[in-house]
A and B are shown apart, each in its own frame.
Chain A
Amino acid sequence: AQSVTQLGSHVSVSEGALVLLRCNYSSSVPPYLFWYVQYPNQGLQLLLKYTTGATLVKGINGFEAEFKKSETSFHLTKPSAHMSDAAEYFCAVNVPGFKTIFGAGTRLFVKA
């Protein structure tokens, strides 16, 4: 069965520092992987997705993620954090039948 594990429910970084949010997945078929961001009292917004092809995927707002099949990982990174990046981030995998399974989320705090 497909599943997603996000390591760390909270991550705190200083403004300008590297952001690294960890995601590991389990899938019996080639996965389609996504990162979404959620700001308070809003729905989820797509940051980036991996389907096939290039394993390094670039998204909006300077974020990128690398699909590593050998490690079953899809970690999200951004070279330099900005205050506006403070939000909840969800890693997700699409499963056959087109449902989406979400991780529990990682809340990112950015310190001035």
Chain B
Amino acid sequence: DTGVSQNPRHKITKRGQNVTFRCDPISEHNRLYWYRQTLGQGPEFLTYFQNEAQLEKSRLLSDRFSAERPKGSFSTLEIQRTEQGDSAMYLCASSPDGVSNQPQHFGDGTRLSIL
């Protein structure tokens, strides 16, 4: 169990630029989740995958956001035309298949700062 890995750990970019984050889940976990966390708040659900299928997207996920999980392994989260309000910590988590009493395993997150 090597844990959930996220890259990069920090990203600083100018407003209007596109950014992409990567998440590598625990290898045997079929479910992968993306959350956004702002200062003083708990993680807010963005989207999740069952293998390569994106099963649900939050209303928080505007059309500037897109997530993929090709081949059901790693996932990417892209934000296009970044805005100041996108500054946050983006967390990825994974869990075993389809069992709701299981906790999620989190990566250390990618902190995005928009200048």
Interface residues of A (CB under 8 A from B): 9, 32, 34, 36, 41-46, 49, 51-52, 90, 92, 94-105
Contacts and interface: CB of A to CB of B under 8 A. Distances in A.
A37 B102 CA distance: 16
A99 B40 contact: no
Interface stretch (B60-68, B72-80, B107-115): B107-115
A34 B103 CA distance: 7
A42 B42 contact: no
B101 interface: yes
Contact of A51 (B6, B56, B101): B101
Contacts of A34: 103
Most chain A CB within a 10 A radius of its CB, from B31, B99, B103, B108: B103
Nearest to A99: B45
A105 B42 contact: yes
Interface residues of B, number: 29
A41 B108 CA distance: 7
B60 to A, nearest CB: 13
Given A41-B111, A42-B108, A100 B101 contact: no
Nearest to A49: B103
Contacts of A100: 33, 43, 45, 104
A9 B101 contact: no
Contacts, number: 66
B98 interface: yes
B49 to A, nearest CB: 11
Contacts of B40: 9, 104-105
B91 A43 contact: yes
Contacts of B31: 98
A9 B40 CA distance: 8
B82 interface: no
B103 A46 contact: yes
Contacts of B98: 98
15 contacts: A9-B40, A41-B108, A42-B108, A43-B4, A44-B43, A44-B91, A51-B101, A98-B98, A98-B100, A99-B33, A100-B45, A102-B42, A102-B43, A103-B42, A105-B41
A34 B105 CA distance: 12
